[in-house]
């Protein structure tokens, strides 16, 4: 077989050479063509391990080799980036360990003074704690007197004062060097802008929990979202982290935002939300979701009908499948917080079978949360519900029931408004369930127990500025104001304007005291109860209003 192939190749080579020979005496153009053909007919190119190759196969081989080199180069770059990220992560962990290590911190500060004072090439130093009774006796003479000629006053002294531990370094004065005394160095350390190594620390420093450390570093820009890796903890530390979150001031003096994505990722790691069978990870980028289009998720095709909410960083779309009505929330945040909050709500709801099914698809650059109606149910936007007063009464009862369930299981929505609320019903709104399709401002009070007042919620600042809420008010009150705003907009198609009279807060539209029918009187009582709930339990206020409305709208 091999001999036959060799003879065939030799025959072709001979034919090529004969053709090139016959072309002698022809014009330059024919001679160039013959030379080109002869170059492509060499046997060593067409034969490879006893197998004849065509020109197309050779081109394919060269193309594959080029693609292989490109893939190897890309793999090399990715490997280098991974190693760089690993080194950065190790550096962050090392900095965390330095924060915990009190004795190491003052030593780092000595390196910051190298610009003003050059230390000896082989300087040695000692650390003395003046809070110890025997420290004065062990202290060398260079502490309070001028050093003798045979002493090397290069000791480091730590003495406690009102700022914590203070660092003082002494070096031998060198000829021609100005400003190298210990007093100048002390002034330089005290007046220079604070650096990491110069932060005053107390002698008895409380050990921060892992979440507190994450909060501090996140507020300082120390951890990137893509490189954040949870530190390993024992179960006792995990329990402690769940019971206390960091209410820590950032360098600018602002409290840590409880809605910060890094904080939420850490909380979700603690609650192990990723183990849910309804949470799916996707390696592809977040798909483009547009109106009058379709998207495929988990083998299901969703036909996009319309966009119902445009929140800037997220959008909510009304979609359909072959069997159900569906709401899709497409979010640029990679923390599946909406999935976690709604799952908690549904687990604690006595009517969980009337609430939608929920699933979530995680992508490297975002997530899609899917709300699917139960059989024979449909979604209706709250703002598009029947505008009759009776229908609004039923909706208000469902909304009160929703907030009751939220507060009963330790959840806080903190941004209730009609455009992010949907009604899930089975034809008639009397049996409907109201649910939020956006949880961006929500808080899990079981995991975030440091949230104890409305001043920690950015969504409550408008109410605080108006004086409607006190900064130290219970955080649940922001949801009561949200219920009042939502129902007021449904009733009047106008934004609620809070006003204050001798009896307290009410709304401008329902502030009169003239005689009225039983329904208007009920709504006056409704808004006054919600806007003057300070000092009362939110559960008692909500339960009482639900009972009163239910007796009126039967």
Report the 3 state secondary structure along 231-298. CCCCHHHHHHHHHCCCCCECCCCCECCCCCHHHHHHHHHHHCHHHCCCEEECCCCCCCCCCCCEEEEC
Could you give the CA distance from residue 362 to residue 360 in angstroms, rounded to a whole number?
6
Query: Do 409 and 507 have their domain in common?
Result: yes
Cβ neighbours for 314, distance < 8 A, ≥ 6 positions apart: 329, 330, 331, 332, 333, 438, 440
Query: Do 453 and 435 have their domain in common?
Result: yes
Domain-embedded: residue 128:
no
- β-pair partners for 501: 504
pLDDT at 425: 86
Domain-embedded: residue 246:
yes
Cα end-to-end distance, the chain, whole Å: 95
pTM, entire model: 0.57
Query: Do 215 and 295 have their domain in common?
Result: no
Domain-embedded: residue 30:
no
pLDDT at 505: 96
Domain-embedded: residue 192:
no
Q: Which of 482, 468, 484 is nearest to 523 (CA)?
A: 484
Domain-embedded: residue 153:
no
Q: Which of 130, 113, 129 is nearest to 171 (CA)?
A: 113
pLDDT at 237: 55
**Chain CA centroid to CA 381, Å:** 28
Domain-embedded: residue 114:
no
Query: Do 387 and 299 have their domain in common?
Result: no
DSSP structural state of residue 417 = -
C-beta separation of 315 from 289 below 8 A: yes
Domain-embedded: residue 318:
yes
Query: Do 311 and 405 have their domain in common?
Result: no
Domain interval for residue 228:
210-256
How many domains are contained in the chain?
A: 5
C-beta separation of 365 from 333 below 8 A: no
Query: Do 526 and 502 have their domain in common?
Result: yes
pLDDT at 93: 85
Query: Do 319 and 339 have their domain in common?
Result: yes
C-beta separation of 340 from 409 below 8 A: no
pLDDT at 206: 41
Query: Do 519 and 537 have their domain in common?
Result: yes
Give the tokens for residue 391: 């229908």
Query: Do 215 and 311 have their domain in common?
Result: no
pLDDT at 350: 83
For the chain (554 residues), the mean pLDDT of every run of 10, in chain order, is 50 51 50 51 57 79 86 87 87 82 51 47 47 47 43 43 43 44 39 36 40 44 36 48 43 68 91 88 94 91 94 93 91 95 92 89 96 90 85 94 96 95 79 90 95 95 95 96 96 95 94 88 96 94 96 86
Query: Do 354 and 428 have their domain in common?
Result: no
Query: Do 430 and 520 have their domain in common?
Result: yes
Query: Do 485 and 432 have their domain in common?
Result: yes
Could you give the CA distance from residue 445 to residue 215 in angstroms, rounded to a whole number?
17
CATH number at residue 358: 3.30.200.20
CATH number at residue 480: 1.10.510.10
Domain-embedded: residue 432:
yes
Could you give the CA distance from residue 303 to residue 324 in angstroms, rounded to a whole number?
11
The residue among 325, 342, 372 that closes a domain is: 372
Could you give the CA distance from residue 178 to residue 244 in angstroms, rounded to a whole number?
51
pLDDT at 383: 81
Q: Which of 235, 238, 211 is nearest to 223 (CA)?
A: 211
């Amino acid at each position: 077989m091999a001999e036959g192939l060799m003879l065939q190749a030799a025959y072709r080579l001979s034919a090529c050479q004969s053709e090139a020979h016959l072309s002698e005496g022809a014009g330059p153009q024919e001679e160039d063509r013959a030379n080109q053909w002869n170059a492509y007919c060499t046997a060593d190119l067409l034969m490879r391990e006893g197998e004849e190759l065509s020109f197309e196969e050779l081109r394919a081989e060269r193309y594959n080799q080029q693609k292989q080199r490109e893939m190897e180069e890309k793999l090399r770059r990715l490997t280098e980036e991974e190693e760089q990220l690993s080194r950065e992560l190790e550096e962050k962990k090392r900095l965390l360990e330095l924060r915990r290590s009190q004795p190491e911190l003052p030593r780092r500060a000595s390196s910051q003074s190298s610009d003003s004072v050059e230390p000896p090439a082989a300087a040695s130093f000692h650390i003395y704690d003046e809070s110890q009774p025997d420290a004065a006796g062990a202290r060398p003479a260079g502490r309070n007197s001028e050093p003798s000629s045979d002493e090397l006053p290069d000791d480091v002294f730590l003495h406690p004062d009102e700022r914590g531990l203070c660092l003082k370094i002494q070096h031998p004065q060198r000829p021609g060097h100005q400003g190298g005394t210990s007093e100048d160095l002390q002034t330089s350390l005290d007046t220079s802008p604070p650096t990491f190594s110069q932060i005053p620390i107390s002698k008895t420093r409380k050990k921060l929990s892992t979440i507190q450390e994450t909060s501090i570093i996140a507020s300082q820009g120390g951890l990137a979202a893509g490189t954040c890796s949870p530190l390993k903890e024992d179960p006792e530390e995990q329990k402690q982290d769940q019971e206390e979150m960091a209410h820590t001031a950032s360098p600018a003096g602002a409290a840590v935002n409880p809605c910060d994505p890094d904080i939420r990722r850490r909380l979700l790691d603690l609650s192990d939300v990723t183990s849910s069978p309804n949470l799916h990870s996707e390696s592809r980028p977040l798909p483009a979701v547009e109106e009058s289009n379709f998207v495929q998720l988990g083998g299901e095709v969703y036909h996009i009908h319309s966009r119902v909410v445009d929140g800037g960083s997220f959008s909510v779309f009304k979609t359909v499948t072959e069997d159900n009505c569906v709401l899709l929330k497409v979010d640029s945040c990679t923390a599946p917080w909406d999935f976690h909050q709604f799952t908690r709500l549904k687990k604690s709801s006595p009517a969980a079978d009337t609430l939608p099914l929920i699933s979530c698809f995680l992508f490297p650059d975002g997530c899609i949360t899917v709300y699917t109606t139960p059989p024979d149910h449909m979604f209706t936007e709250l703002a598009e519900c029947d505008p009759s007063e009776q229908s609004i009464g039923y909706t208000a009862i469902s909304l009160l029931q929703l907030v009751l369930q939220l507060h009963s299981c330790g959840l806080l929505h903190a941004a209730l408004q009609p455009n992010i609320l949907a009604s899930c019903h089975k034809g008639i709104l009397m049996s409907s369930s109201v649910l939020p399709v956006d949880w961006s401002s929500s808080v899990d009070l079981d995991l975030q127990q440091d949230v104890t007042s409305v001043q920690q919620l950015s969504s409550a600042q408008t109410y605080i500025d108006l004086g409607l809420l006190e900064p130290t008010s219970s955080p649940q009150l922001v949801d009561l104001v949200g219920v009042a705003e939502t129902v007021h907009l449904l009733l009047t198609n106008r934004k609620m304007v809070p006003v204050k009279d001798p009896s307290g807060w009410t709304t401008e539209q329902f502030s009169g005291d003239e005689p009225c029918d039983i329904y208007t009187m009920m709504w006056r009582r409704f808004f006054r109860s919600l806007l003057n709930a300070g000092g009362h339990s939110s559960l008692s206020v909500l339960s009482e209003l639900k009972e009163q409305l239910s007796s009126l709208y039967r």
